[in-house]
């Protein structure tokens, strides 16, 4: 599959909800929260179109008057993992952030999500403080940050 990355719209709501449902076993965003992020918030949800539905997404929120942005999540459908889609989404999100004037990207990762932690650290994110009771079931989160530079570019 030759991936097509684009910004999601409100028409993608059902597909985004389904990807979130199959991509995570807990801590799901609700329908209203996703609809707000897709249509009203100062945010962009990048998606990769698959043959029948979306196979990956990355939600990036921007803060007015701030040079930082936040990744809410990067999700790839379990049947499409290990194809480089998460990396593609992250690279595209970084380019988008830079184009909007952001120079810091931050995110939270569940403290026991070793795969995500390894992924973000491999791409230059630095672990910061721990947020206790951040996720469902009282799970903690690590806050990660990355200073964005023009060298954070897509290498396709």
Q: Which residues contact 90 (CB under 8 A, 6 or more apart)?
A: 58, 71, 74, 123
**In the predicted model, what is the mean pLDDT of residues 59-75?**
90
User: What's phi and psi for 130, nearest 5 deg?
Assistant: -105, 135
**CATH code of residue 112:** 3.40.630.30
Residue 98 lies in a domain: yes
pLDDT number for residue 155: 42
Cα–Cα distance measured from residue 54 to residue 16, given in angstroms and rounded to the nearest whole number: 7
Residue 133 lies in a domain: yes
pLDDT at 76 over 80: yes
Residue 136 lies in a domain: yes
The one-character DSSP state at 80 is G
pLDDT number for residue 136: 79
pTM value is 0.87
Q: How confident is the model at residue 55 (pLDDT cuts 50, 70, 90)?
A: very high
Residue 154 lies in a domain: no
Q: How many structural domains does the chain have?
A: 1
pLDDT number for residue 151: 67
Residue 155 lies in a domain: no
Cα–Cα distance measured from residue 61 to residue 72, given in angstroms and rounded to the nearest whole number: 7
Residue 156 lies in a domain: no
Residue 55 lies in a domain: yes
User: What's phi and psi for 6, nearest 5 deg?
Assistant: -145, 170
pLDDT number for residue 156: 36
Q: For residue 83, give its domain range.
A: 4-147
Phi and psi based region of residue 130 (left: phi greater than 0; alpha: psi -120 to 50; beta: remaining): beta
**In the predicted model, what is the mean pLDDT of residues 38-61?**
88
């Amino acid at each position: 599959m030759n991936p097509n990355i684009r910004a999601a719209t409100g028409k993608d709501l059902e597909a985004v909800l389904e990807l979130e449902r199959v991509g995570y076993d807990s801590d799901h965003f609700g329908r209203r929260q996703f609809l707000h992020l897709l249509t009203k918030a100062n945010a962009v949800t990048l998606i990769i179109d698959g043959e029948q539905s979306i196979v990956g997404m990355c939600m990036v929120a921007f803060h007015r008057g701030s040079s930082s942005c936040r990744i809410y999540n990067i999700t790839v459908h379990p049947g499409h993992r290990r194809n480089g889609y998460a990396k593609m989404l992250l690279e595209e999100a970084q380019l988008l952030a830079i184009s909007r004037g952001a120079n810091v990207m931050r995110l939270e990762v569940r403290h026991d999500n070793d795969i995500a932690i390894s992924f973000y650290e491999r791409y230059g994110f630095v672990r910061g403080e721990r947020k206790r009771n951040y996720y469902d079931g009282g799970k903690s989160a690590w806050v990660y940050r990355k200073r964005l530079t023009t060298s954070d570019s897509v290498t396709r």
